[in-house]
Amino acid sequence: MIEDYLYFVKTYPLLSSALQIGVLGTIGELIAVRIRIGKWYFFGPGPTNLLLKALVWAFLGITFKYAFTGFFAFMDTIIAKGWWFNLAEGTFLYALSVSFFANIIYGPVFVTFHRFTDNKIERKEMDWDSLQKAWWSLIWLWIPALTLVFILPKHLQIGLLSVFNLLLGIMLGYFATKSKNNKNDNTQKNIS
């Protein structure tokens, strides 16, 4: 089974990226909603919105693969030109550097695009305050997370990112529930 997975991700890097991110990203989002509202919700009547969200995640999976490849080449180029520290690929500091540049250059575009498409699918207005929080998550969450991803061999990186997207859904659902409970507690205290 492991050999089949490794063969698939090495032989079909774009397709495997689309499938891994498409499936686990969508499941993570469904779990976040389930935790937040206490029941399964599939983003509207019928399968259309769920399918659209899965397709957006799959498209993003392809862009991740392109971005990862591009940012490794970017890092090698700026190191070769002497514009960055002389770091060896596969080291922690090299992975951290790739993650830093990927998150400050590609990250805001990805987050904004994803939020925009989610809002269009769900027919909601853009919540700019929430978007700013998502941008900050690039610093405190995604730079460290992608550093771990970038230490792995290239063919395993999207797989770990997919798992992180699933875990992010669980975290977001939990934090939304905790935030809602804290607001309710504060409201109760103000009434008393």
- The predicted-structure confidence for 65-124, as pLDDT tens digits, reads as follows 999 999 999 999 999 999 999 999 999 999 999 999 999 999 999 999 999 999 999 999
Domain count, the chain: 1
The pLDDT, as a whole number, for residue 183 is 64
Q: Which domain holds residue 15?
A: 2-191
Output the pTM of the full model: 0.89
DSSP 162-177: HHHHHHHHHHHHHHHH
Tokens at 143, concatenated: 């730079």
Residues 6+ apart with CB under 8 A from 152: 160
* Least confident segment among 7-11, 15-19, 31-35, 158-162: 31-35
pLDDT tens track for 129-179: 889 989 999 999 999 999 999 999 999 999 999 999 999 889 888 888 877
Q: Record the tokens describing residue 177, joined without a space.
A: 């529930």
pLDDT band at 187, cuts 50/70/90?
low
